[in-house]
Structure 1
Amino acid sequence: MNSINPNPNHSLSDSLLSALESLTEGLTLYDKDDRFVFANRKYREWRSDIADVLAPGIPFETILRTGVERKLYRDAIGQEEAWIRSRIERHRSADGKFEVALSDGRWLQVTEQKTDDGGIVTLYNDITDWKQTEEYLRDSEARYRTLFDSAPVILFTKNRDGVYTSANAETLEYWKPLNPIGFTDAELLEPIIAADLRRNDLKVIETGQELVLEENFITLQGNRVVLSRKVPLRNAAGAIIGVMGISVDITDRKQVEVELQHAKEAAEAASRAKSQFLANMSHELRTPLNAIIGYSEILLEEADELELDRFQPDLDKIQTAGRHLLNIISDVLDLSKIEAGKIDLYLETIDIQEMIQNIITTIRPVAEKNGNILQIECDNHIGSMRTDSTKTRQVLFNLLSNAGKFCEQGIITLSATKDQEWVTFKVIDTGIGMTTEQIDSLFQPFTQADATTTRRFGGTGLGLTISQYFCRMMGGEIAVDSEPGRGSTFTVRLPAQGVDAPPGTKGIDAARSRAPAAPGDGKNTVLVIDDDPATQDLLRRYLSKEGFQVYTTTNGEEGLDLAKMLKPVAITLDVLMPGMDGWTVLTRLKADSDLADIPVIVLTIINDKNLGYTLGASDYLTKPIQRKRLIALLKKYRASRMPACLVVEDETPMRDMMRRTLQKEGWQIIEAVNGLEALQRLSETRPDLILLDLMMPEMDGFQFVAELRQNEAWRTIPVVVVTALDLTRADRAKLVGYVKHILQKGAYSREELLNEVRNLITESVK
């Protein structure tokens, strides 16, 4: 085809020929008899596979059949004749555009048109790239549709008017039996819900920012909640044309959340009920235990004085059983407070050797009960440490008690060493020892080495759990090393300077919370303010035996009046009393300039020294009363004088026991049965000391302390709280600065009570 115009019946000008040859499209020309006339350069390049038959005068059908025979047309393969007939028919009609797929993968767009003389001119465009793009888009659309429909979430699009334009299978299932496509939310849902949805859509469209939120639906399946993520839907130009939503039905999850919230609230209510129950049980159990332990101490002492030896074994059993029960109650309450995160850290600077001596004095009978020898290894100049004295003592008491229990005819050693940062205590015994497996479960609640141990030695299995918690709370640790048959070594390491209270606890500085010691007026009277008759009787008997003159009252008001009248050397004050509580009594005592110097010993079941000291109590003893400690306190306040002690206690036996105990120590006792009566006693005479129960009718110990605060004449009277109440942080706050000591009823002996009183009086004299 060197000649582009071989047919003498047709002629093309040079300029036209040049134009046709320069076209970017392919071009062919057939005459009215459908014989080949001309093909331009582009066509010849594209169709080089049939160039050998493109000769002038060759019929269109011949050229077409050559291409089919050479399998150049993809759609003709397998249906050659039918395809040839269809193609010839279309060629001769020359009525528009169509596409031809070549076997080599190319696509041509064919446009045929008749000429004025009956011939046919054809234009060819290579549309391979466009067809590939089209195929890619179809595949992409198919993949998108597959993902769209198979996604296990709700997917939809809306236009700017809020009309649903597409929805996947999950969405259609959600709306069943309705089909949202072509409708707005206003046409499908309740007006309020539809308005909320439309407002959210418009926010996305107007701001161009995605929005994640929870939305409510009311469908035929009921009320539903979905978590939706809505994003702006844009066209190719980037203009926002609507919104696309992706939603997950979270109705079931929300229901679970509601149920969990209800369960949480129920659990919290149960926890509060448990805490309240334990607090009530603390009072209800410790109060009678106080009487049991206190009177057994008095009977033991009287039996010894009267040489009634046959009663002593039984009385020993009563006292031992009472203290054992008290220890169990205390352990359970401590564990409950640990679980509730309500344990307070109370830091003070203590003399290490003095603490160890006090511990040994108390623990020696227990440690040596099984024929053991108790040894102490402690440098006389070991110095002091800053710690929570009560918790440190409790840890060492527990370890020494366990050593005495699990060791027979052996040696128990308590050692203490100190370096710049740590104080290390070791309790070493030559007892039964433990295996590695037993050690692994040693610090679990209600767990002992094994069932045999529990049956043989008894105990709740709580002591070491509580000890470990206390050590960690104080910034230290407890470790054990043991070998079966050779004994055990428990090592306690505590910071020498103390640590800040850990999260969930409150640390209170003892040095800032104790009330100053106050001078007395030389009387030997103790006023007992406690609404528990048993406590009053016990205190009366305790103190009377020690030479104190005991006055008791069951309410704070009477206690205050008695204090004014008697000016006792000390007052014991219960916290929980009807009318005016112990706190109020303590406050009013410290607020009265005539009574403020009288030491007040808070005697209560509330185990919260901090509050007592805050309010100005001179000492704080928790019920059941430790008789020795109370007597010691009162003797300390009285010293060589004949001091007066106001005992504010509503229980007659307790008040009488305290009176008898202190009177024997030379105290003049003023009694009040509650805060109101205690206030009346204070108005009549000013005691040197107040022993205060907290739980009393009419006016409890808290109210009594508060009243003391208001009276400048009473503000400096030492107050010792003696109570069976388990003090909260709020309770302690009412006592700090006004209570010298807090004694837990039943948790101290007669001697300890008297020692506390003596010490307070000694301070008063100084």
Structure 2
Amino acid sequence: MAERSRTAAWCRHRLLETVAGSAALIPTGVMSTGAKAEPMLVNAAELVTLLGPHQILTMAFTSGVTLFAILSAAQLLRVARRASRDRAAARSQIATLRAETDRIRTLLQLDRQITVVWSGGEPEIGGDIGVVGATQPFRVLAFGIWLDVERARDLEAAVERLRERGEAFAMALATRDGRHIEADGRAIGGHAVLRLREATGARGEAAELADRLRRAERDAAILRTLVESLPVPMWVRDATGRLSWANAAYAHAVDAKTTEESIDRGTELLDRGDRITAAQARDAHGRFEKRVAAIVAGERRQLDVVEITDANGICAGIALDATEAEQVRVGLQQTIAAHRRILDSLATGVAIFDANKRLVFYNAAYQRLFEFDPAFLDDKPSDPDVLDRLRAERKLPEQADFRKWRDGFLGAYRAIEPQEHSWHLPGGQMLRVVTNPNPDGGLTYLFDDITERIDLESRINQLSGLHRETLDNLAEAVAVFGSDGRLKLHNPSFVRLWRLSPDALASQPHVEVVGTWCQAMCANDAWSVLHATVTAIGGRHEPVARRIERADGSVLDASAAKLPDGSTLVTFRDVTDSVSVERVLTEKNEALEEADGLKTRFIHHVSYELRSPLTNIIGFAQLLGDPAIGPLNAKQRDYVGHITGSSAALLAIIDDILDLATIDAGAMTIEPFEIDLRETMRAASDGVQDRLAEAGLKLVLDVAPGIGTFIADAKRVRQVLFNLLSNAVSFSPQGGIITLAARAEAGAVVFRVTDQGPGIPAELKDKVFERFESYSPGGTQHRGAGLGLSIVRSLVALHGGEVAIETQPGRGTTVVVRFPMTHVMAAE
């Protein structure tokens, strides 16, 4: 009992604590105060005292249940309110999404487009399939139907990468019917989406330009590949004229390993002159086209070169090998010209008419035969017109019905085989006329005047006796062998020359037998050639000549020629005396040439051997005159000066001799380049200043205003002018004036060196140019080696120029030198 009492007390205590902790005041009722009712409040302790423990427990349990119900209802109310708010928000969001969907659908419907979505199964195709010209949705994905093969392959590859790896793409396409489509592929939310949209307006223009660019790039790539593979040199120059591109054939043509090497080195295929001409033509007309010669891969070829320039100054060129065509053209022209010359040289009249019966060719014999006016023939008359004119001039056979005869004669145009006619003209002339049909439908006429032949045939018997007597009295040995090789005719000289028996020759022996008899007297085998000529099948019309040396020392000139009847005429002429004289003259000429060569070699060798010690003498003399070596007295300096001057003069003579020897040997060449006229004249005059001062002479340089430069060997030009000035100094009187003038005249640069000396007699004007000839006018003591003017003439001749002398005794001398003006540049 006690335990239960303790337990109950403890429970009451905990309950009171609980109740007391949850609410300090508990409403227990309402008190009425008359006007209004007020609640009555008691605290927990008072409540326990008033009610007791059991009532308190009962009331607490009831209150807990009620509180739980109230709290649950409140929670349910809050959940319901939240659910209501969520439903309202969802309805608002759905309405917003629907509005956005409607807006997007409206925007999508503004453009004609197709949308293809791959979600793992069959693709979903929507939109206007007419954009790509398809009639069924599945034909949209058959790209090869509405695209060309290349673009269809590109689109298929892009779609495959989109579906497999999610790679986005965008490309512009052109359909087979010319429409432009924008293809756009994207990966969206795990789906592969392809959109095909028709490009219109600015997008259409951009797509069209993109398609043009693609095709242009493709065509450019194809053309570049083609150009690179062509075996024809092609190149491009920039606006400055420098090579900027070339193909492999160009590199091969200029012997470059690669095209880059040819461009870097700027190796040119054309010569400088051709490039200048091409640049001038491009500047004037924008195009250059010409056949030029050039070195291609080490060989000289003929090239048809074409260069064109665009508005930006970029030049493109191509060179086609026309060597074979040029050779064929030249050969054809030569053949045609040779045929014309042959036909013109024929005694047979030739006239060729074309298929329209118009005259296209005639030779001189045809014109002379009928005495045609050349203007009439050059007007290409018809064949009937020609026959009508011949009939009017009575140069056709007389015919009762000319029209019928003419129509039958012109039937040769329809014939297959040649036809031959004989015309007996009213004047007694007889013609042989051959009509030969041409493959092109024309006709070729051959007219032979056989009047003389008929007359000759009537007189041949009378002349045969005369011919026989003539042959018998000829000094030359004559033998005629028939076509069967047997001796048909011979004269007494043949019998005497070969010491043959007339009886043996009367039996008409074969040429082989006659050759055996005659070969026994010959020192060389010459009869074999004559035998081959006589027995040749078909006959050889070209004469054959041989020289026969016999054992007795005599020499014969033999010749064999085919005769029209197939016989062979063999003649022998004794030329023993002529050959002896010829041999003597040949031996003498060879001896003279050998002596001249020996003289030239001797002069060259001696001059070379003198040059070395003379150079030492000049060097030591200059060394003695150097004050640094030691002082010299006046006489010693005078001697050294004489040594130096004499050595220099001797060295100049030796140099001249060496130059002449080099020229005679054909080893001297000129090195032309651009030289300045004034500077060249000044350099030549500097070499004679000491001599001018010593003789008290004045030198005047007269150069035409505006004269500039020309192409020549500067060293040789100075040498020419120096020799002329030295020659003028030698012949000028004390205090005289020497003039060196230069002018440009008629495509040449002309130098004139004028002195006031005694002049040269007319009979000696040409002689002064000969070697080792020296002229001393008026008994003066002037003597020279006689090489100066000879060297001048040789050096000027190497330049293609000429030298002349204008002089009169007592009025001075002017030497005129003309150099061809290969290329002149005006002075700035």
TM-score, length-normalised on structure 2?
0.39
Q: Which has the higher helix share?
A: 2
Larger Rg: 2
Structure with larger RCO (C-alpha < 8 A, sep 6+)? 1
TM-score, length-normalised on structure 1?
0.42
